């Protein structure tokens, strides 16, 4: 995402076993759980977008909805993963009904984007204002159902309206690279289609998948976020020096001795908390929280760049080299992250401060 300057990425087949909403470095991830281990959808957003999320619904293991506070109107993104051709028609119909039910809560003046793996082929040939003339393949039954769905909701298939080479149109390759299909789509509302600047696949993006990355470039006006307090924490690195550490403990002890004792445990705790915080503010100060994933080494980044060269290599030697580099990256990532976590734990132990314990006075009657 950082290399390609992507703001939002929708993912199908996340396969995680629990619903989550968390930050990884400067990126926010919201995902659904996968009940059977072969589904799950999610969205990854950069810091600018992640901070603007006003609402989300982890609706099911195949549907997630996220609303983003954009101007002049909010943007609602629906990420879906439609079952493959092995699923029966009743299951597909139920999923379309769920999507339609969710879309009823999206106001008409909101910018709606529906995207994901639809496992359908809309094919070549323009269909009114829904499907453009630059599709790929022959429309199948699933594709007809998708076209009817989009027509009824005034949605436009963005990746069928821009003229590109066929290698920029296909989104999935059958095992063995025998046939290439266009089964992933990004749809937007007809009234907002002027936001589209381009939509195409990036087959060179190395993401360890049999799907190609489908990217739409939009022009949306975003108001600047109001300036707030930067995320900061106490500068505990100063406590590594013995003189500072001893002085800090004396400062806390002196403050506690000057304070009146509380009558309850809660009051006692409040006194201790306030004195510890006051001493830290005066003697340690604060520093910005680093949110970067610092365990990723330059060696790993170099290996990833080298691996990317063999992403689309069709020769046997090229495929072997890609697999070799992939395994090497996986191993080094695992080792680097474990070492980084051990170092972080070691630092936290060193930063542990001996607290002055004071027991409340007890009285008997």
User: Is 357 within a domain?
Assistant: no
Name the one residue in this structure whose structure tokens are 């470095």: 25
From the CB of residue 3, how many other CB atoms can be counted at a distance below 10 Å?
11
* End-to-end C-alpha distance for the chain, whole angstroms: 69
| Structure confidence by residue, pLDDT tens digits, 218-259 | 986 655 555 444 456 777 778 888 888 888 888 888 888 877
Boundary residue ending a domain (288, 310, 329): 288
pLDDT, tens digit (0-9, with 9 covering 90-100), for 157-191: 999 999 999 889 999 888 877 889 999 999 999 98
Is residue 55 domain-shared with residue 73, that is, in the same domain? yes
Find, among 50, 151, 56, the residue nearest to 102 by Cα.
56
Please check whether residues 165 and 267 belong to one and the same domain.
Answer: no
Same domain membership, residue 241 and residue 189? no
CB atoms near residue 167 (< 10 Å): 13
What pLDDT is attached to residue 309?
A: 85
Q: Would you state the structure tokens that stand for residue 35, as one six-digit string?
A: 């009940």
Q: What is the mean pLDDT of residues 269-298?
A: 76
- 44 and 191 co-located in one domain: yes
**pLDDT of 302:** 87
Looking at the fold, whether 112 and 47 belong to one and the same domain comes out as: yes
Total tally of structural domains belonging to the chain: 3
152 and 173 share one domain:
yes
Distance of alpha carbon 356 from alpha carbon 358, whole angstroms: 6
How much is the pTM?
A: 0.66
Q: What is the pLDDT of residue 290?
A: 52
pLDDT given at position 208: 81
Say yes or no: 246 and 275 in one domain: yes
Mean pLDDT for the stretch of residues 88-112: 89
Is 225 part of any domain? no
Over residues 87-112, the mean pLDDT reads 89
What are the DSSP E strand ranges found in the chain? 8-12, 20-24, 27-31, 41-46, 53-60, 63-68, 75-81, 111-117, 155-157, 172-173, 180-181, 184-189, 196-202, 213-218, 232-234, 286-288
Within this chain, do residues 190 and 321 fall inside the same structural domain, yes or no?
Answer: no
Q: Which pLDDT belongs to residue 43? A: 97
Residues 17-29: tens digit of each pLDDT: 999 999 999 999 9
Are 55 and 191 contained in the same domain? Answer: yes
- Domain range for 157: 8-218
Return the pLDDT at 363: 41
- 248, 279 contact by CB (below 8 A): yes
**62 and 190 both lie in a single domain:** yes
Instruction: Based on the fold, state whether residues 54 and 185 are members of the same structural domain.
Output: yes
Answer yes or no: is pLDDT of 356 > 70.
no
Please, are residues 55 and 67 in contact by the beta-carbon 8 Å criterion?
yes
* 214 & 243 share domain: no
pLDDT score for 58: 94
- By 3-state DSSP, what share of the chain in percent is helix, strand and coil, each rounded to 5? 35, 25, 40
Q: What is the predicted pLDDT for the residue at 355?
A: 43
């Amino acid at each position: 995402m950082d290399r390609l300057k992507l703001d939002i990425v929708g993912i199908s087949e996340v396969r995680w076993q629990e619903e989550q909403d968390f930050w990884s470095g400067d990126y926010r991830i919201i995902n659904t759980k996968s009940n059977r281990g072969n589904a799950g959808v999610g969205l990854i957003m950069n810091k600018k977008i992640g901070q603007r999320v006003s609402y989300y619904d982890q609706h099911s293991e195949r549907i997630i909805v996220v609303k983003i506070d954009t101007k002049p109107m909010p943007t609602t993104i629906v990420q879906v993963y439609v079952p493959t051709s092995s699923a029966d028609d009743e299951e597909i119909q139920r999923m379309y009904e769920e999507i339609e039910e969710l879309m009823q809560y999206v106001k008409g003046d909101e910018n709606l984007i529906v995207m994901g793996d639809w496992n359908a082929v809309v094919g070549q040939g323009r269909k009114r204002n829904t499907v453009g003339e630059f599709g790929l393949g022959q429309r199948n039954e699933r594709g007809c159902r998708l076209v009817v769905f989009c027509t009824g909701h005034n949605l436009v298939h963005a990746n069928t309206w821009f003229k590109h080479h066929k290698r920029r149109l296909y989104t999935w390759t059958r095992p063995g690279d025998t046939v290439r299909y266009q089964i992933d789509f990004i749809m937007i509302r007809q009234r907002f289609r002027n936001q589209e600047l381009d939509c195409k696949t990036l087959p060179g993006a190395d993401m360890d998948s049999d799907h190609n990355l489908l990217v739409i470039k939009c022009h949306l006006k975003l108001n600047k976020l109001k300036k707030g307090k930067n995320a900061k924490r106490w500068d505990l690195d100063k406590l590594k020096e013995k003189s500072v550490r001893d002085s800090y403990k004396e400062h806390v002890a002196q403050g506690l001795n000057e304070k009146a004792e509380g009558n309850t445990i809660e009051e006692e705790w409040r006194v201790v908390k306030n004195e510890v915080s006051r001493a830290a503010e005066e003697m340690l100060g604060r520093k910005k929280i680093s949110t970067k994933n610092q365990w990723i080494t330059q060696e790993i980044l170099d290996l990833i760049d080298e691996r990317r060269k063999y992403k689309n290599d069709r020769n046997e030697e090229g495929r072997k080299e890609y697999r070799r580099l992939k395994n090497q990256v996986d191993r080094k990532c695992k080792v680097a992250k474990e070492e980084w976590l051990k170092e972080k734990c070691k630092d936290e132990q060193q930063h542990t401060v001996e607290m002055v314990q004071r027991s409340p006075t007890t009285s008997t009657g």
